Structure 1
Amino acid sequence: MSRLTITTRTTATGPLLRIAGDLDYATSEDVRTHVTGLRLEPGQCLVLELGGMEFCDSSGITALLVARHHATAAGADVALTAVPDHTMRILRIVGLDQIFTIRPDSAPAAS
């Protein structure tokens, strides 16, 4: 089991959160609390960089959906970047790859 870390950085287009470690039942509340505490403006893009995420269960997927809902409610967008293969597979199986913007990395958002 790998400890979850969340690192936040402000970019020109909005906040970027680097999520690393295990996103599961024990840690998903941390992500939900962190994300819903962000102040988003209309037109911004909340970027969730997942390259360091080692594991994601259904609670983790729910936390990603909470982030999407929070961004949408603020008139902002959300993008997932550097999604690990194991998580991408889950997103595809349940059709969430159709509702999330998915980018290979966070470079475009960081400019």
Structure 2
Amino acid sequence: MSPLDVTGRNTATGPVVEVAGALDSVHAAALCQYVERLALRPGQRLVIDLSGLALCDFIGVAALLAARQHALAADADLVLAAVPTDTLRILRVTGLDQVFTIRPGIATA
């Protein structure tokens, strides 16, 4: 497995992007590039499934914010699913838990 694996699938409500490994300063660009290639439509929901995330630093959080901006620019929503405890702590400390829609479970649709 590479340090960061980003894969995706389409659902009826929009794409689900699965992130596994280290979302850090060395690898965060991979998520940004993947999300930038998504052609979102108004009303869709982009779900980023973080159930496989091993590490997330502040550059990784910036990549998640960039994904949110991409969704907002397309008039779509973004949901973070299955956020690991350490990453959730970063989001809470920075107040970003009030910016992101966060769902506890793994993205199924």
TM-score, normalised by the number of residues in structure 1: 0.94
Give the letter for the 2:55 counterpart: F
Distance (Å, rounded) in 1 between the aligned partners of 2:97 and 2:60: 15
Describe the SS at the equivalent of 2:19.
Answer: strand
Counterpart position of 1:51:
51
Distance (Å, rounded) in 1 between the aligned partners of 2:53 and 2:18: 9
Counterpart position of 1:99:
99
Unaligned runs of 5+ residues in structure 1 are: none
How many residue pairs match? The answer is 107
Instruction: Report the Cα offset of residue 77 of structure 1.
Output: 0.2
Instruction: Report the Cα offset of residue 7 of structure 1.
Output: 1.1
Distance (Å, rounded) in 1 between the aligned partners of 2:94 and 2:25: 19
Distance (Å, rounded) in 2 between the aligned partners of 1:72 and 1:95: 19
Matches within 5 A, 1:75-90: 75-90=75-90
Counterpart position of 1:66:
66
Distance (Å, rounded) in 1 between the aligned partners of 2:42 and 2:87: 28
What stretches of structure 1 move > 3 A for 4+ residues in a row? Answer: none
- Structure 1 vs Structure 2 CA RMSD: 0.8
Describe the SS at the equivalent of 2:62.
Answer: helix
Distance (Å, rounded) in 2 between the aligned partners of 1:62 and 1:31: 11
Instruction: Report the Cα offset of residue 33 of structure 1.
Output: 0.6
Describe the SS at the equivalent of 1:12.
Answer: coil
Identity across the alignment (%) = 52
Distance (Å, rounded) in 2 between the aligned partners of 1:97 and 1:9: 25
Distance (Å, rounded) in 1 between the aligned partners of 2:20 and 2:74: 25
Instruction: Report the Cα offset of residue 3 of structure 1.
Output: 1.2
